[in-house]
Amino acid sequence: QVQLVESGGGLVQAGGSLRLSCAASGGTFSSSVMGWFRQAPGKEREFVARVTWSGSNTAYADSVEGRFTISRDNAKNTVYLQMNSPKPEDTAVYYCAARPNYSRDYDYWGQGTQVTVSS
C-alpha cells in the first residue's frame, strides 16, 4: 500500500517558480501512474497533470499546459511538479496521487501542500 507525502509548497510571486515534490513509499511506485491534483477553497478538486510509469508519457490540464511540467524519478520514488510562471488562479492545495496498474482509480493520496501565488 502506497503512502505519499507532498512537499515544496509555499508563497510565490506570479513571476516566480516553484517545484513540488511527492515522495512515495510502501508500494510499487514504478508501476503506478502518478498524478497531481489541486483544490482551491470553495471549489472542486481538479486534475492538473499525470505521468505514466516510464516518465515519457504526460498529460496536462489546459489551464497549466506550457507552464507546469510533471516528471518522476523512479530511483528516488519521487514525482515532481515544476510550476513556472504561476498565476494567482493557481493558488490551491496541491495533492499527488497514485494509480496502480491494477486499479481503475487513483487509490492513494498525499496530505496536500499549500501553494499561494501572489500578484
Instruction: Write the single-letter amino acid at 72.
Output: R
pLDDT digits (tens, 9 = 90+) for 21-32: 999 998 777 778
Please compute Rg for the chain using Cα positions: 13
Predicted confidence (pLDDT) at residue 20 exceeds the cutoff of 90: yes
Give the number of other Cβ atoms within 10 Å of residue 57's Cβ.
Answer: 10
Cell of 33: 501512474
Question: Residue 25: what residue type?
Answer: S
The model's pLDDT over 30-67, given as tens digits with 9 standing for 90+, comes to 778 999 999 999 999 999 999 997 778 999 999 999 99
The better pLDDT of the pair 81, 55 is held by 81
